[in-house]
C-alpha cells in the first residue's frame, strides 16, 4: 500500500484515532474526521489555521521548538477525556512539523485496559506467592517441653534480625523447615518469597544453575532467554537451604562468595547481580566432624553459624507426644475426611516409650496409618491395637540401639586400656605395644584413632 493511501485511511477511515498534522509554523495541514467530530468543527474551519487557535493548550508548539516527543499525557476537549501523544516530524535533521494523536477516545477506555492488565498481573503474582510462600507460623509449632519452648522464644527474637544467617541443626523429622518458615513469616521479609532448596535432592551438576541461574547458551539445553536462579527469585525474602551438609566442596566455595559479597553471577553471565535475601540453612549432620574430615569448609561453617539453633529430637521431649498426637490427629482428620476424636491412655503410653528415630515426621506417618485402620473399623478412638505394627519397629530400634551401645562400650574399654599402657610405659610406644600384646603399627593406628599426638 502506498504512503498516500495509508495516510488517507488513517485520517478519513480510522474512527478510533483523533489526529492532526501541523507544519513547522504550527498551522494545521491535515486532520482526521474523528478529531473534527471531537472539535465539533468542519474541515474548512480547521485546515490552514494555527493549532493554538483551535486548541489553545496544544503541545505541538512545545514539540516544534524542542524537537522532542511528548508521550502519554491527558488531553481533554469538550466532553472527551483522551490520552494523547505528540511527536516531531523530522527531515534532514530539521523539524518540519508535528504529528499529534490520541488512540483512546475516552480515558476510561484506557483505564479499563490498564485495570485488565493489573488484574492479570495480580493473578500471576498470586500464583507466584502461593508457589513461593511460607505456610507455617510459630503457632503451628507444638511443644511444651522447657528446652523446646526456649528455642521457640529465641527463634521469635531472631526473626526480627532480618539479615542474620540462621543455622538449624537437628535430626531428620524434628521440624527444621517449620522453624525456617516460621522465622520468615515472623519477620518483615514475610511479604516477599520463601524458597526452599534441598541440596541432597539436586544433582551437583544442576545445583549451581538452580541457585544462581543461567544465561541463554550457557550449556547444552539451556532455556532460551536464560533463567533466574533461586537467589534472584527470593529477592527481598528468604532462601532455605535444607541438608546443607550434602553440598559439594566446589559449591560450598561458590555459596561462600555469594554470602560474603551479597552478589551472584549466572552461569554464562558476564556481570554480577546484587541480591538481598536472608539465608537459613539446615542440616542433620555434624558439620564440625565434617570439617575435621575435610568435607566441609570451615570458613563457610562460620559464615552459616551466625545464629545456631539445635532442635531437640522427640525422644528428649516425650511429654509433648500427647499434645502432638491431638494436633496431628486434627490435621489428619481434615485431610483424610475421618472423624477420629481421641486416643487411649495405653496407646499414648506405648507411643511415649518409643524412641522415634524419625521424630515428628515418623509420628505423623504412624498416626495416619492408625487413623486409617480405625476408620476401617468404624471406631472414633485410637487404641493399642491400631499401633501393633509399630511394636516390630520398636523392637528393631531397641536391638540396633543396644548394638550401638555395645560398640561404644568396647571402644571406651579399648581406649582406657591403651591410655593405661601408655602411662605404665612412660609414653614409650614400643614398650606399650608389648604390654598390650599388639604390634607397633597397630598401636600407632589406634593412637591416631583416639586422637593421640603423632
Q: Both 266 and 358 in a single domain?
A: no
Q: Is residue 125 part of a domain?
A: no
* Domain encompassing residue 274: 138-310
Q: Both 272 and 166 in a single domain?
A: yes
Sequence-separated (6 or more) residues with CB below 8 Å from residue 384: 344, 346, 347, 350
Q: Both 159 and 303 in a single domain?
A: yes
Q: Is residue 84 part of a domain?
A: yes
Q: Which of 89, 107, 125 is the last residue of a domain?
A: 107
Q: Both 306 and 322 in a single domain?
A: no
292 is written with which cell numbers?
A: 575435621
Report whether pLDDT(1) > 50: no
Q: Which of 288, 310, 332 is the last residue of a domain?
A: 310
What pLDDT shows up at residue 63?
92
Report how many domains make up the chain. 4
What pLDDT shows up at residue 400?
59
What pLDDT shows up at residue 395?
65
CATH number, position 361: 1.10.8.60
Q: Is residue 124 part of a domain?
A: no
Q: Both 182 and 277 in a single domain?
A: yes
Q: Both 187 and 300 in a single domain?
A: yes
Q: Is residue 79 part of a domain?
A: yes
Q: Is residue 118 part of a domain?
A: no
More confident residue, 22 or 418: 22
Q: State the average pLDDT over residues 194-208.
A: 91
Q: Both 292 and 170 in a single domain?
A: yes
Cβ–Cβ < 8 Å for 218, 267: yes
Q: Both 296 and 175 in a single domain?
A: yes
Q: Is residue 122 part of a domain?
A: no
Q: Both 144 and 222 in a single domain?
A: yes
Q: Which of 84, 107, 130 is the last residue of a domain?
A: 107
Q: State the average pLDDT over residues 63-73.
A: 88
Q: Both 235 and 275 in a single domain?
A: yes
Whole-model pTM: value is: 0.62
Name the band, by pLDDT with cuts 50, 70 and 90, for residue 6: low
Mean pLDDT score of the chain? 85
Q: Is residue 120 part of a domain?
A: no
256 Rama sector, left if φ>0, alpha if ψ -120 to 50, beta otherwise: alpha
Q: Both 292 and 339 in a single domain?
A: no
Q: Is residue 121 part of a domain?
A: no
Name the band, by pLDDT with cuts 50, 70 and 90, for residue 102: confident
Q: Both 252 and 378 in a single domain?
A: no
What pLDDT shows up at residue 76?
80
pLDDT tens, 309-334?
999 999 999 999 999 999 999 999 99
What pLDDT shows up at residue 421?
84
Name the band, by pLDDT with cuts 50, 70 and 90, for residue 410: confident
pLDDT tens, 162-186?
999 999 999 999 999 999 999 999 9
CATH number, position 50: 3.30.450.20
CATH number, position 426: 1.10.10
Annotate the chain with three-state secondary structure.
CCHHHHHHHHHHHCCCCEEEEEECCCEEEEECHHHHHHHCCCHHHHCCCEHHHHCCCCCHHHHHHHCCCEEEEEEEECCEEEEEEEEEEEECCEEEEEEEEEEECCHHHHHHHHHHHHHHHHHHHHHHHHHCCCCCCHHHCCCCCHHHHHHHHHHHHHHCCCCCCEEEECCCCCCHHHHHHHHHHHCCCCCCCEEEEECCCCCHHHHHHHHHEECCCCCCCCCCCCEECHHHHCCCCEEEEECHHHCCHHHHHHHHHHHHHCEECCECCCCCEECCCEEEEEECCCHHHHHHCCCCCHHHHHHHCCEEEECCCHHHCHHHHHHHHHHHHHHHHHHHCCCCCEECHHHHHHHHCCCCCCHHHHHHHHHHHHHHHHHHCCCCEECHHHHHHHHHHHHHHHHHHHHHHHHHHHHHHHHHHHHHHHHHCCCCHHHHHHHHCCCHHHHHHHHHHCCCCC
Report whether pLDDT(216) > 70: yes
pLDDT tens, 266-296?
988 888 899 999 999 999 999 998 999 999 9
75 Rama sector, left if φ>0, alpha if ψ -120 to 50, beta otherwise: beta
Amino acid at each position: 500500500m502506498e504512503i498516500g493511501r495509508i495516510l488517507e485511511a488513517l485520517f478519513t477511515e480510522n474512527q478510533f484515532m483523533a489526529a492532526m498534522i501541523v507544519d513547522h509554523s504550527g498551522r494545521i495541514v491535515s486532520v482526521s474526521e474523528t478529531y473534527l467530530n471531537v472539535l465539533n468543527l468542519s474541515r474548512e474551519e480547521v485546515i490552514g489555521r494555527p493549532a493554538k487557535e483551535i486548541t489553545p493548550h496544544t503541545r505541538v508548539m512545545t514539540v516544534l521548538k524542542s524537537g522532542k516527543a511528548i508521550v502519554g499525557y491527558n488531553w481533554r476537549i469538550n466532553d472527551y477525556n483522551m490520552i494523547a501523544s505528540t511527536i516531531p516530524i523530522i527531515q534532514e535533521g530539521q523539524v518540519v512539523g508535528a504529528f499529534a494523536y490520541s488512540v483512546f477516545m475516552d480515558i476510561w477506555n484506557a483505564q479499563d485496559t490498564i485495570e485488565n492488565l493489573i488484574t492479570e498481573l495480580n493473578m500471576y503474582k498470586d500464583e507466584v506467592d502461593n508457589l513461593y510462600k511460607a505456610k507455617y507460623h510459630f503457632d503451628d509449632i507444638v511443644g511444651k517441653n522447657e528446652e523446646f519452648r526456649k528455642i521457640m522464644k529465641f527463634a521469635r527474637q531472631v526473626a526480627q534480625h532480618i539479615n542474620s544467617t540462621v543455622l538449624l541443626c537437628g535430626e531428620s523429622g524434628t521440624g527444621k523447615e517449620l522453624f525456617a518458615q516460621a522465622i520468615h513469616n515472623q519477620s518483615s521479609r514475610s511479604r516477599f518469597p520463601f524458597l526452599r532448596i534441598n541440596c541432597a535432592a539436586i544433582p551437583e551438576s544442576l545445583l549451581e544453575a538452580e541457585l544462581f541461574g543461567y544465561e541463554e547458551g550457557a550449556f547444552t539445553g539451556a532455556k532460551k532467554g536464560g533463567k533466574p536462579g533461586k537467589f534472584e527469585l527470593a529477592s527481598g525474602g528468604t532462601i532455605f537451604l535444607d541438608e546443607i551438609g550434602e553440598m559439594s566442596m566446589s559449591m560450598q566455595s561458590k555459596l561462600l562468595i555469594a554470602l560474603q559479597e551479597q552478589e551472584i553471577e549466572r552461569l554464562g553471565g558476564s556481570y554480577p547481580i546484587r541480591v538481598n535475601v536472608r539465608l537459613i540453612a539446615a542440616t542433620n549432620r555434624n558439620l564440625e566432624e565434617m570439617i575435621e574430615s575435610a568435607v566441609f569448609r570451615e570458613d563457610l561453617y562460620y559464615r552459616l553459624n551466625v545464629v545456631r539453633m539445635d532442635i531437640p529430637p522427640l525422644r528428649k521431649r516425650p511429654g509433648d507426644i500427647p499434645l502432638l498426637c491431638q494436633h496431628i490427629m486434627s490435621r489428619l482428620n481434615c485431610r483424610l475426611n475421618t472423624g477420629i476424636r481421641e486416643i487411649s491412655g495405653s496407646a499414648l503410653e506405648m507411643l511415649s516409650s518409643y524412641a522415634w528415630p524419625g521424630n515428628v515426621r515418623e509420628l505423623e506417618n504412624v498416626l495416619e496409618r492408625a487413623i486409617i485402620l480405625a476408620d476401617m473399623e468404624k471406631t472414633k478412638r485410637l487404641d493399642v491395637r491400631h499401633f501393633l505394627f509399630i511394636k516390630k519397629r520398636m523392637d528393631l530400634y531397641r536391638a540396633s540401639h543396644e548394638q550401638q551401645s555395645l560398640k561404644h562400650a568396647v571402644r571406651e574399654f579399648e581406649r582406657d586400656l591403651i591410655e593405661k599402657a601408655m602411662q605404665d610405659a612412660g609414653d614409650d610406644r614400643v614398650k606399650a605395644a608389648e604390654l598390650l600384646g599388639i604390634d607397633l603399627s597397630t598401636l600407632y593406628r589406634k593412637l591416631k584413632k583416639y586422637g593421640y599426638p603423632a
